[in-house]
Structure formats: structure tokens, C-alpha cells
């Protein structure tokens, strides 16, 4: 159990049969009346964000989230197949649940699979990935100073906006959290 006075960003709690992660919290001491804690909570299963206030002495059970390193093997129809590298056990997750997180992940790449009480709810890809551009318009001499971008398709099928000087078959580095181009490799 964790009291509302001990809330910190990133802490996960169980509330109303859901699991929430604290995104923001603020201890408020009004001039009149009792102090309270104002929070912004993100439901880690469906991604919804709610705001809730707590009394500082109110207690909630703290949720334990398991993050396990697993290797992404391949996509099989509407399923992604992951393997535990310690015991070679395989799990399958549906594309409906985790398609957004997987758009920059290649086969045989390591990911963190997040679960609560054995139920997988998210996959965390590596923070940065290096991918090859499979399709983009050609760049021309002198296209480096404008800061303009063009769409490019990478080997996983995702579309990224890259500077004009980047060409087809170039390897680029991408931030998977934002989907932004970082540099050529």
C-alpha cells in the first residue's frame, strides 16, 4: 500500500479494478480546508488519462509491473510472436493490442514485454533503432540547407519524415518514442 502523500511520477497503483500510472501529481495546501493531492493518472491497459484528487492519508495498493526482455521473432497473420531468451518459451500477442509499438521493430530485435499478474498489456521497443529506407524520392545537390522533409518508408513498412538529402537504401537512426528521424548511420 502506498499513501497519496508518497505519490511520485511513474508509480503504478491499482484503483477501481484498473492499473494506473501516475503521470503528474501536485500537493495542494489551500488557505482554508484540508490539504489534498491532485493527480493525473494514465490507465496502462487502454491508455486513457483521468484526473483524480486524493487526501494525503488515503492509501492505494501499489501495482507490480513485470518487464521482461523478450526477442521479437516474427509476425504470423494477426499475431506477433515473442520468445523468452532464458527458457525459449514463446508467447503470441495480437496486432490489435500492440501494433503501434511494433512499427519500428525488426525481426530478432529485443523488446521489453510488460505484464501485470501474467496479463501482457504493452511492449516497449528499444528507444532507438537503425533501419534501412526502402522507398523515398531521390535527393538532389543543394537540398541540405532548407530544413525541409520528405516521407520515406523504412524496412518495417512505417513512414518517417526525413531530410531531403537522405536517399533510398540509406540506413537511418529513429527514436521509437516519437517516430522522428535522428541521423544517418
- Would you write out the chain's pLDDT as a tens digit for each of its 185 residues? 888 888 888 788 988 888 888 889 999 898 888 899 999 998 887 778 899 999 988 899 988 888 899 999 998 888 889 999 889 899 888 887 777 788 888 888 999 988 888 888 788 888 899 999 999 888 666 656 667 888 999 998 889 998 888 888 899 999 888 888 988 88
Q: What is the 3-state secondary structure (H, E, C) of the chain?
A: CEEHHHCCCCCEEEECCEEEEEEEEEEECCCCCCCEEEEEEEECCCCCEEEEEECCCCEECECCCEEEEEEEEEEECCEEEEEECCCCCEEEEEHHHHCCCCCCCCCCCEEEEEEECCEEEEEECCCEEEEEEEEECCCCCCCCCCCCEEEEEECCCCEEEEECCCCCCCEEEEECCCCEEEEEC
pLDDT reported for residue 144: 61
The top-level CATH class assigned to 129-184 is: mainly beta
pLDDT reported for residue 122: 80
Q: Which residue has the cell 496479463?
A: 119
Terminal-residue alpha carbon distance, the chain: 47
Domain 2-60, architecture per CATH = Roll (2.30)
Fold equal for 66-124 and 129-184: yes
User: What superfamily would CATH give domain 66-124?
Assistant: Nucleic acid-binding proteins (2.40.50.140)
pLDDT reported for residue 171: 92
pLDDT reported for residue 15: 87
pLDDT reported for residue 40: 93
| pTM: predicted TM-score of the whole model, two decimal places | 0.70
pLDDT reported for residue 142: 62
105 contact partners, CB below 8 Å, separation of at least 6:
72, 111, 125, 126, 129, 156, 176
Q: Which residue has the cell 511492449?
A: 123
8 contact partners, CB below 8 Å, separation of at least 6:
22, 25
Domain spans, the chain: 2-60, 66-124, 129-184
Amino acid at each position: 500500500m502506498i499513501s497519496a502523500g508518497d505519490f511520485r511520477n511513474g508509480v503504478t497503483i491499482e484503483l477501481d479494478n484498473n492499473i494506473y500510472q501516475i503521470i503528474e501529481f501536485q500537493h495542494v495546501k489551500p488557505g482554508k480546508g484540508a490539504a489534498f493531492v491532485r493527480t493525473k493518472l494514465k490507465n496502462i491497459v487502454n491508455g486513457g488519462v483521468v484526473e483524480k484528487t486524493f487526501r494525503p492519508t488515503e492509501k492505494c495498493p501499489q501495482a507490480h509491473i513485470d518487464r521482461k526482455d523478450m526477442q521479437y521473432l516474427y509476425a504470423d497473420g494477426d499475431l506477433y510472436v515473442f520468445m523468452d531468451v532464458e527458457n525459449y518459451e514463446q508467447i503470441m500477442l495480437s496486432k490489435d493490442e500492440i501494433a503501434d509499438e511494433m512499427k519500428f521493430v525488426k525481426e530478432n530485435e529485443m523488446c521489453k514485454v510488460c505484464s501485470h499478474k501474467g496479463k501482457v498489456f504493452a511492449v516497449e521497443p528499444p528507444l532507438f533503432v537503425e533501419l534501412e529506407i526502402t522507398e523515398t524520392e531521390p535527393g538532389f545537390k543543394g537540398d541540405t540547407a532548407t530544413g525541409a522533409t520528405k516521407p520515406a518508408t523504412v524496412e518495417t513498412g512505417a513512414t518517417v519524415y526525413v531530410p531531403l538529402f537522405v536517399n533510398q537504401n540509406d540506413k537511418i537512426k529513429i527514436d521509437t518514442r516519437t517516430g522522428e528521424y535522428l541521423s544517418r548511420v
